[in-house]
Amino acid sequence: MPAVKTKIPCLLSIVLFFSLYIPHAKGIPATKDSTLKKENILNIMRQVADWQLNEWNTKGFNHPPVDWTNAACYTGFYALGAIKGNDKYLEALTKIGSDLNWNTGRNRFMADDYCIGQTYSLLYTRYHDKKMIAPFIKLADSILDKPHDESLEWKDNIASREWAWCDALFMGPTALSYLSTATKDPKYLNTAVKLWWKTTNYLYDPTEHLYFRDGSYLNRKEKNGKKVFWSRGNGWVLAGLVRVMENMPANYPDKSNFETLYKDMAARIASLQQPDGSWHASLLDPESYPVKETSGTGFYCYALVWGLNHNLLDEKTYLPVVKKAWAALTSSVHPNGMLGYVQRIGDSPDMVTENSAEVYGVGAFLLTGSELYKYVSHHPAIK
């Protein structure tokens, strides 16, 4: 993200009483893992979510409740809440939205500040309360009215007007796409798709099948001489990609192009998985930060399981990748429910520790768990 947010006092009370690109498995093969049982997946999701709820309630929000960091977390909370018997997480999100008067952030045309719109739209599709999306509809209409004809060069505060950094592809197009589903109006999805390809044409490396973080990274190199491709940055992209596709009708004109991009990225990402099942902060120089990183790993695992659930990926090839990634994620959860090894806010690869925690890591973990829960529900014999 363009700027680091500072800690602020708690604004809300949310407690609710309670070949190169052919994928290959590196390192040890996947083994039997009891965490792939439905009840175990759900239990560890609740453990992680409850830890985060308690943090918000007892210590306050580390970032503004409307901020992209929390907005990414809310997507995971919604996914957990959508599983039968977990309404309390939806109630928490509804309380947050209500306290914010269903508004987005102050920097109206910056994708970070309207990322929360996707959660508002999801809540609306469940509860059908128009006030949940009324403010975002007005903002989205004004976004659609913009010419979007500026260069994406990383200068002149371009991030406040265009999707000029790869992270924005989780923040902006998803918000517009879910609004299309909520309103049944394709104009928001159409704009999301148009602007997705604008960003992709600028930041996507078709040789590596990965995205540069922003224009300032196009010519940077890692210590080993390889190009700089940030794990979480590409995690934002791949997760955003499946969330946009989630809102595309089966006959949508550009769907096949999105599916091709998704499969190319999925293959490349799978080929870069580390022996412990994770992805390190730097994708092409994993030894520069030789420790697992759970936000990128979480978004990758989520997107890959989504592909299995939608019959876009081969089970024999990708299920071992998913199983190893889930094992890496669950082994990073502390006994109290805190998810560790999450890289701090930034725009490039950086160090992590077992005690590094951030809300977007929680969101990625819960998104992964929700897709894995669906997969196991339809494949009860999986071990």
Tens digit of each residue's pLDDT (9 = 90 or more) over 283-316: 999 999 999 999 999 999 999 999 999 999 999 9
The angle, 0 to 180 degrees and rounded to 10, between the axes of the packed helices 134-145 and 168-183 is 120
Give CATH for domain 34-378. 1.50.10.10
pLDDT at 191 > cutoff 90: yes
CA separation for the pair 275, 285 (Å, rounded): 14
Fill in the DSSP letter of residue 217: G
Is residue 255 exposed (0-12), middle (13-18) or buried (19+ Cβ within 10 Å)? middle
Average pLDDT of the chain is: 92
Active site residue 167: yes
If one counts every other C-beta atom within 10 angstroms of the C-beta of residue 116, the result is 29
Q: What angle do CA 56, 62, 63 make, to 5 degrees?
A: 110
User: What is the pLDDT at residue 153?
Assistant: 98
If one counts every other C-beta atom within 10 angstroms of the C-beta of residue 206, the result is 10
Q: What is the pTM of this model?
A: 0.91
Contact predicate 150/162, CB 8 Å:
yes
User: What is the pLDDT at residue 25?
Assistant: 34
Rg (CA), the chain: 19
Is residue 19 exposed (0-12), middle (13-18) or buried (19+ Cβ within 10 Å)? exposed
User: What is the pLDDT at residue 382?
Assistant: 80
pLDDT at 7 > cutoff 70: no
Interval 71-115: pLDDT, tens: 999 999 999 999 999 999 999 999 999 999 999 999 999 999 999
Write the CA distances from 379 to 141, 146, 185, 382, integer angstroms.
42, 46, 35, 6
pLDDT at 2 > cutoff 70: no
Q: Which of 67, 167, 214, 285 is catalytic?
A: 167
pLDDT at 250 > cutoff 90: yes
Interval 321-351: pLDDT, tens: 999 999 999 999 999 999 999 999 999 999 9
Q: What residues contact residue 10 under an 8 Å CB cut-off, 6+ apart?
A: 56, 57, 59, 60, 61
